[in-house]
Amino acid sequence: MGTVGIIVVYAVILGGMWFLLMRPQKKEQKRIQAMLADMEIGDTALTTSGFYGVIIDITDDDVIVEFGNNKNCRIPMQKAAIAQIEKPGAE
C-alpha cells in the first residue's frame, strides 16, 4: 500500500502542476486567436516590437500596417507580429 500511495501522490502532484502550467497558456492562445479573428481594416495595432500603426489591408496570414503620417510607410507583416488591437472610437 505504501508504494502505490506514493505513486498516486506523485501522479496527483504532476497532474496539478500540468494543470497550473498549461491552462493559462491555452487561455492566452485562445485570446490571441480571437483578437486576430476580430481584427478589421482601420483598427490600431500594436506590434510585438512596440510600434503603433493602422491596419490598411488583411489577407489570410498577413496584414499591411501603415505607420505614422507618411502614407509611404506601409509595412506588410505576419498576423503573429500583432500584440494588441484597439478599435477606433473605443476607450
Nearest to 88 by CA among 51, 29, 39: 39
Record the pTM.
0.70
Instruction: Provide the pLDDT for residue 90.
Output: 61
Q: What is the pLDDT of residues 61-75, one digit of tens each?
A: 899 999 988 778 899
Q: Which domains does the chain have, with CATH numbers?
A: 2-86 (2.30.30)
Instruction: Provide the pLDDT for residue 64.
Output: 94
What is the average pLDDT across 2-8?
A: 90
Q: How confident is the model at residue 1 (pLDDT cuts 50, 70, 90)?
A: low
Q: Which value, to the nearest 10 degrees, does the dihedral of the CA atoms of residues 76, 78, 83, 85 take?
A: 60
